[in-house]
Amino acid sequence: MGRRQPPNEEVVVKVDFPFPLDKATFMKLVLDLAKNLLLQKSQIPLQYEALAKEVELDAIHTADESEANSDEEGEEYPSKLSVREKMKQTRARKNKAQLVKHGRKLVDDLKNLENVIDSELAYDGVNSINFVFGATAHTGREIYSVEVPDGIHSIPDYSSSSR
């Protein structure tokens, strides 16, 4: 019989920056934290940048592949080794296709997350951003909370203005 374990102690890590954070820098920090947490919690198999690169390379590869189709050799009686090699290649293509499919969804989801955080930070009432890990959002096992710095809404964002 499984006993319910008591919740772990709350760990607080306070980070003080020597300069005030603007909205763009804060958003980059939060998104990088989300990507890192996904990797640490084994929610993604590779680093986000590697997955994004695979998605980008697949888009380039499929464009090139449509232009030049490879000719396949027709063996009358294929050997065991050639059949195994073809099955191995087929399996590798399937795995890569699945990785790219899920990677594309991850890239889209993180862009969506960035847009949601950006729109929510436009309001003054946001105190923190929480990342919940568990079976569902209602049964979270771990919660990572990032407090929104005071005055982030009043600091002008110079990254979007042109000089």
Distance CA 72, CA 136 (A): 47
Crossing angle of helices 23-40 and 48-67, rounded to 10°: 90
The rounded average pLDDT for each run of 10 residues, N- to C-terminus, in the chain (163 residues) is: 70 87 92 96 94 91 64 69 92 93 95 94 88 87 90 57 43
Residue whose C-alpha is closest to residue 56's, from 106, 95, 93, 112 = 106
Distance CA 147, CA 127 (A): 6
For 100-131, write each residue's pLDDT tens digit. Answer: 999 999 999 999 999 999 999 888 788 999 99
Distance CA 6, CA 141 (A): 11
Token pair, residue 105, equals 């969804």
Whether residue 140 contacts residue 134, with contact meaning beta carbons closer than 8 Å, is answered with yes
